[in-house]
Amino acid sequence: MPEQVDGSVTGIDEGWAVYTTPAIAGTGFRDYDARWLFPDEINLSGVKAVGRGIGNLMHHKGIDPIIVIGHDFREYSESVKNALIVGLLEVGIGVLDIGLALSPMAYYSRLHLGVPSVAMITASHNPNGWTGVKLGFVHPLTCGSRDMQALREKTFEPHESRRTGGFYQEVTGVREAYLSDLANEGLVQRRLKVVCATASGTASAFAPELLSRIGLSVIPLHTDPDYAFPHYNPNPESVEMLKDMARAVVEHHADLAFGFDGDGDRLGVVHNQGEAVSADKMGLLMARHMAKSNPMARFAADVKSTALFATDPLLNELGAIVEYCRTGHSHMKKRLLETGALAGFEKAGHFYFSEPIGHGYDCALQAAVMVCRLLDTHPALSLSELYEQLPKTWISPTMSPYCPDDRKHSVMEILSRALHRIADDGGHMAGRKIVELVEVDGVRLVLADGSWALVRVSSNMPNLVVVCESLRSADDMRRIFVEFDAILRDTVRIGPYDQSIEVDADCRAG
């Protein structure tokens, strides 16, 4: 339920209340950004209060009082941005407005403009009706849970007096500088035909142009911007979007397809045979490529990623070190900076490249360019042939059963205790002994042959997250999921999945 910034509970009244009475759901301040249903969980006056909270947090931390701000392509995003700007100006923050942007373009603008702070108005891949803020104060980092909770406290504090010194300036030229930076290595040598899928999201205004600039033959797929998202949600991890990309690849005899999410920081890939290449395995191909010219290179992979990062013979031969990390763009950016890792990969489709390859943040457009450069180094091989060189495993899509924001962390604690009991009692799943529980983020239950199942709390939606991987077969992966899901549902009450996998009777009986 939305709250007033003085702490009392209120609903969002009709009429002028949306402009005069701040209403904010406290659950919107999440682990590494902020997201709300608009206007159900936050109104424009509430957004202004968040702007004041950001500004007051900057003053409290002694940060230079100037910030870059951009917005994604949703019907209400510019209004949300303007309300945030008013709040920032009221507490003396200078605002550089770069207009319509992708999240990685906003991150890049910090380098381009020499301003370390950024606020990007976006709900990323969340469905229409959501809004939010990705926030950062030091390049290339974005705020993690500690800063987001500090922002929550500043937002709900009684209003401090207004400050002078705030100013507003529209800034042009960042889009061109961003695209030029991505294309700076020139044309791709292979004459690749690629499907560019954006699901009518913000990347529609950026991705097709970049792919054309680097010399690709581009087949557009739903690249007309439309904030109603008439085809499907711009989420390249969703089965619906990947199936449409696969259909287009086969129909047009394309070399591959790229799918971009709502704010351009996540990439999905389909190879020339019309099969999706999960982002973690695409990351493994990239890691193999980079490790050849960077001996003893260090990489990071999120806890949802394939077990192959730990067992891949080529990475081991090249002395590469791979660390499994918490899921989440803020956590991954911080870990890359702390460890000096060359690159980082998340199964959700975030790809991170450190200097000198990239700038340390997640950018789907750069990841697409990197895939093309990878293909350039193997001129005789298709992407499907490169993919077939990896050891075979079967990994599920990311599946998210509903669990309310105000319950999901307590639910996860109950599940963690239950999984510990099962493992401590010598439990088995899918006919194999449970040999390890990895608790970097949630609980990853590892079986004797290296197959696994994970449950964790979603950081940006009222969901849990479930992923399974089998080192044996697709049917075995389904069996792992069925048995793991049964453990979850026997332990706690959770809702339906947003997407799932087809399971036959044999798997359920197994």
Q: Residue 376 corresponds to which tokens in the numbers above?
A: 């350039």
| Domain boundaries, given as residue ranges, for the chain | 17-172, 177-273, 277-388, 394-509
pLDDT in tens, 42-84: 999 999 999 999 999 999 999 999 999 999 999 999 999 999 9
pLDDT in tens, 418-460: 999 999 999 999 999 999 999 999 999 999 999 999 999 998 8
Tell me if residue 461 falls in helix, strand or coil. coil
Among the ranges given (9-18, 140-149, 215-224, 292-301), the one the predictor scored with the smallest mean pLDDT = 9-18
CATH architecture of 394-509: 2-Layer Sandwich (3.30)
pLDDT score for 17: 55
Calculate mean pLDDT across residues 208-218.
Answer: 98
493 Cβ neighbours under 8 A, 6+ residues apart: none
228 Cβ neighbours under 8 A, 6+ residues apart: 75, 128, 200
Q: Indicate if the pLDDT at residue 8 is higher than 70.
A: no
Which runs of consecutive H residues, i.e. helices, occur in 183-278?
207-213, 239-252
119 φ, ψ to 5°? -130, 120
Q: CA 263 → CA 67, 230, 267, 503, distances in Å?
A: 19, 17, 10, 33
pLDDT in tens, 339-390: 999 999 999 999 999 999 999 999 999 999 999 999 999 999 999 999 999 9
pLDDT band, residue 125 (cuts 50/70/90): confident
Q: Indicate if the pLDDT at residue 504 is higher than 60.
A: no
Q: Indicate if the pLDDT at residue 487 is higher than 90.
A: yes
Cα 287 from Cα 297, distance rounded (Å): 9
Calculate mean pLDDT across residues 116-126.
Answer: 94
Neighbours of 491 (CB within 10 A): 16
Burial class, 126, CB count within 10 angstroms (exposed 0-12 / middle 13-18 / buried 19+): buried
Q: Indicate if the pLDDT at residue 508 is higher than 70.
A: no
Phi-psi region of 274 (alpha: psi -120 to 50; beta: other; left: phi over 0): left
Q: Residue 190 corresponds to which tokens in the numbers above?
A: 């292979």
Q: Indicate if the pLDDT at residue 3 is higher than 70.
A: no
Residue 218 near residue 157, CB atoms below 8 Å: no
Q: Indicate if the pLDDT at residue 6 is higher than 50.
A: no
Q: Which CATH number describes the domain made up of 17-172?
A: 3.40.120.10
Which of 103, 141, 63 minimizes the C-alpha distance to 337?
141
Q: Indicate if the pLDDT at residue 22 is higher than 90.
A: no
Give the whole-number percent of the chain exceeding pLDDT 70. Answer: 95
DSSP label at residue 162? P
Transcribe 104-137 into DSSP letters: HHHHHHHHHHT---EEEE--TTSPTTEEEEEEES
pTM passes above 0.85: yes
Q: Indicate if the pLDDT at residue 295 is higher than 90.
A: no
pLDDT in tens, 139-181: 999 999 999 999 999 999 987 789 999 999 999 999 999 999 9
Pairing of strands 452-457, 217-221: unpaired
Burial class, 171, CB count within 10 angstroms (exposed 0-12 / middle 13-18 / buried 19+): middle
pLDDT score for 15: 53
Cα 102 from Cα 181, distance rounded (Å): 14
Residue 203 near residue 261, CB atoms below 8 Å: yes
Give the whole-number percent of the chain exceeding pLDDT 90. Answer: 90
Max CA pair span of the chain: 69
Q: Do domains 177-273 and 277-388 have the same CATH topology?
A: yes
- Which CATH number does the domain 177-273 belong to among 3.40.50.1220, 3.40.120.10, 3.40.50.1100, 3.40.50.1390? 3.40.120.10
Calculate mean pLDDT across residues 197-211.
Answer: 98
Q: CA 202 → CA 72, 77, 371, distances in Å?
A: 6, 11, 21
pLDDT band, residue 484 (cuts 50/70/90): very high
Cα 85 from Cα 75, distance rounded (Å): 17
Q: Indicate if the pLDDT at residue 222 is higher than 70.
A: yes
76 φ, ψ to 5°? -110, 0
- Which CATH number does the domain 277-388 belong to among 3.40.50.12640, 3.30.2130.10, 3.40.120.10, 3.60.9.10? 3.40.120.10
pLDDT band, residue 2 (cuts 50/70/90): low
- The average confidence (pLDDT) of the chain is 93
pLDDT band, residue 18 (cuts 50/70/90): low
pLDDT score for 509: 35
Calculate mean pLDDT across residues 403-414.
Answer: 96
